[in-house]
Amino acid sequence: MNMIAELGRFFISLAGKLGRAGLFLKDSFYWLLKGKWEKEEIMKQMVRVGVQSLPVVTLTSLFTGMVLALQSGLSSKNIFNEPLYVGTLVSLSMVLELGPVLTSIVVAGRVGASIAAEIGTMRVTEQIDALYMLGVHPISYLSVPRFLACIFMVPVLVIYADSLGILGGLFVCLTKLGIPARVYWDDILPYLDMIEVMHGVVKSFFFGAIIFWVSCYNGFFTKGGAEGVGRSTTMTVVVSMVLILLSDYFLGSFLISIGIG
């Protein structure tokens, strides 16, 4: 009996959270469309999400491209006695999947966590209430700039990560596998169309929206002082990563079904 009651409580709480998250998203769109944008704050968030994520995105994408080239080159060497289609494998893997997913996960860990911690701290120290009293709606001031920054900067980071991953692959081909640059590019260009790039970029746009939604929601609904801020931060990273990975499959299959990718 207790187990059923616990299960009931869990689902009631889950329904409440989903409802609040839905209303939060609706309010964010309302203030986004209302158009009273805080330009300075938007620029600040763009720099935070985009420019300040460059070092970590550079490292992850470069080394991902390098290891992809190394593993695929050595595997095909073992099977076919020569490294075949390394460029094709590296470029398609980066552009379709690894670029968008890895970059979004890195941004969720770096930026999402800091957004949740910042807004959560503002909530528990009454700074969000102070915004109301100073003539600003907190969703318009805090949420809208972060939404715009996430949906625009994550795709830009993904295009950057795709390019670096492909260059990382080229570096390994030249230094480890003995594949000339011309062969590497010849393996890429006939198979990589704009439509593949679009597939990854469209997905990353949604991943950016997920990072915004989860981090801002957790920040705004933080309760219980420093402990609550810690809980919101952890929840943001875990939930964003799970949602990115789950939605990747469904978004991927949907985009393929409509001919994108």
Partner 1 sequence: MELYKNFGENDVLKGLSLDILDGETITIIGGSGEGKSVLLKHIAGLMKPDKGTVYVDDEDIMRMDEEKLQQVQKKFGFLFQGAALFDSMTVYENVSFGVRRIHSETPEKKIREIVKTRLELVGLEGIEDMKPASLSGGMKKRVALARAIATNPRYILYDEPTTGLDPIRAGSINDLINSMQEKLNVTSIVVTHDMTSAYEVSDRIAMLAGGRIIETGTPGQIQKSPNDIVRKFIRGE
Residue with token string 């289609």: 85
Buried b (16+ CB within 10 A) or exposed e, 79-116: eeeebbbbbbbbbbbbbbebbbbbbbbbbbbbbbbbbb
Q: Quick one: 82 or 126, whose CB is closer to partner 1?
A: 126
Q: Quick one: 135 or 259, whose CB is closer to partner 1?
A: 135
Residue with token string 């470029």: 91
155 contacts: CB under 8 Å, gap ≥ 6: 201, 204, 205, 208
Q: Quick one: 125 or 234, whose CB is closer to partner 1?
A: 125
State the minimum distance, in angstroms, from the CB of residue 248 to partner 1: 34
Q: Quick one: 52 or 127, whose CB is closer to partner 1?
A: 127
State the minimum distance, in angstroms, from the CB of residue 169 to partner 1: 40
State the minimum distance, in angstroms, from the CB of residue 134 to partner 1: 4
State the minimum distance, in angstroms, from the CB of residue 142 to partner 1: 11
> ∠ CA(148), CA(95), CA(71), 5° rounding?
135
Q: Quick one: 10 or 30, whose CB is closer to partner 1?
A: 30
- List residues near partner 1 by CB under 8 A: 121-122, 125-127, 129-130, 132-137
State the minimum distance, in angstroms, from the CB of residue 81 to partner 1: 60
